């Protein structure tokens, strides 16, 4: 069953077309990567899924509950970690946070700290935890690894893989770098200037020259 089904989605900001006929699907229990350069339209796609930008065309269907962990964490910096998590349950009204601390034990110590004072990795954990508090079926994470140390990224990736396996959480991982996204996900899409230019299993994509050149940084052009 497809939890996310996007068909020919078009989103415009004024005269600029940010998404130009994008089709994408994510089925239950899957981990899917969406890779693209800065400004390709990745965040716009998530905003369209969250319903915070208007569609100019196409269809977006979401089964179950969708949670969006935005780029740049977007926490409530003046509030404590606990309050940030609890606000994640604004819709679901199930405000018990203990299970999130069990999944993300490192946060337990920071419970009473203001979110703005945490390290980047911890803030990303809070952002993910806040997303989980709405008890979503699909969790979409925008630029999870941006600005984080490789070790922290690996730790977050482990947590996501664990959530996917034990809780059956469906994940849509949106990244500039294909490195992390492809190692974690089974399937992927490549977005360039508002269009999907490649899709398939992450194994296939990693082999394609397009992806190698632009997103894996493994091949150097102009090697004479």
Q: Which residues bind another protein (CB under 8 A)?
A: 50, 52, 68, 70, 74-79, 83, 86-88, 90-91, 95, 130, 134
Instruction: Tell me how far, at minimum, the Cβ of 8 lies from another protein, in Å.
Output: 25
Chain-centroid distance of CA 5 in Å reads 16
Instruction: Tell me how far, at minimum, the Cβ of 139 lies from another protein, in Å.
Output: 12
Tell me whether residue 43 or residue 145 sits nearer to another protein (CB atom).
43
Instruction: Tell me how far, at minimum, the Cβ of 140 lies from another protein, in Å.
Output: 11
What the block records as the tokens of 113 is 């700290």
What phi-psi label fits residue 58: left (phi over 0), alpha (psi between -120 and 50 degrees) or beta?
left
Q: How far apart are CA 171 and CA 139, in angstroms?
A: 5
Tell me whether residue 14 or residue 166 sits nearer to another protein (CB atom).
14
Instruction: Tell me how far, at minimum, the Cβ of 44 lies from another protein, in Å.
Output: 14
Instruction: Tell me how far, at minimum, the Cβ of 114 lies from another protein, in Å.
Output: 11
Q: How far apart are CA 26 and CA 3, in angstroms?
A: 6
Tell me whether residue 34 or residue 190 sits nearer to another protein (CB atom).
34
Max Cα–Cα distance, the chain, nearest Å: 61
Taking a C-beta distance cutoff of 8 angstroms, is the pair 197, 25 a contact?
no
Tell me whether residue 75 or residue 171 sits nearer to another protein (CB atom).
75
Tell me whether residue 13 or residue 90 sits nearer to another protein (CB atom).
90
Q: How far apart are CA 202 and CA 223, in angstroms?
A: 26
Tell me whether residue 77 or residue 150 sits nearer to another protein (CB atom).
77
Instruction: Tell me how far, at minimum, the Cβ of 183 lies from another protein, in Å.
Output: 27
> What is the DSSP annotation of 127-196?
HHHHHHTT--SEEEEESTTTT--HHHHHHHHHHHHHHHHHH--EEEEEES-HHHHHHH-SEEEEEETTEE
Q: Is 87 helix (H, G, I), strand (E, B) or coil?
A: helix
């Amino acid at each position: 069953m497809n939890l996310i089904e996007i068909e020919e989605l078009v989103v415009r900001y004024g005269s600029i077309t940010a998404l130009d006929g994008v089709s994408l699907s994510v089925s239950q229990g899957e981990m899917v990567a969406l890779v693209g350069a800065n400004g390709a339209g990745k965040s716009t796609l998530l905003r369209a899924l969250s319903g915070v930008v208007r569609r100019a065309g196409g269809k977006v269907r979401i089964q179950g509950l969708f949670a969006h962990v935005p780029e740049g964490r977007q926490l409530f910096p003046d509030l404590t970690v606990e309050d940030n998590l609890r606000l994640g349950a604004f819709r679901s009204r199930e405000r018990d946070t203990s299970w999130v601390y069990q999944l993300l034990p490192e946060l337990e110590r920071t419970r009473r700290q203001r979110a703005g004072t945490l390290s980047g990795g911890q803030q990303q954990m809070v952002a993910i935890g806040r997303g989980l508090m709405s008890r979503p079926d699909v969790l979409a994470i925008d630029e999870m690894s941006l600005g984080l140390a490789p070790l922290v990224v690996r730790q977050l990736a482990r947590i996501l893989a664990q959530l996917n396996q034990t809780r059956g959480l469906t994940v849509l991982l949106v990244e500039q770098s294909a490195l992390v996204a492809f190692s974690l996900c089974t399937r992927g899409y490549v977005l360039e200037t508002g269009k999907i230019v490649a899709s398939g299993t992450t194994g296939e994509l990693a082999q394609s020259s397009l992806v190698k050149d632009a997103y894996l940084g493994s091949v150097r052009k102009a090697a004479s």
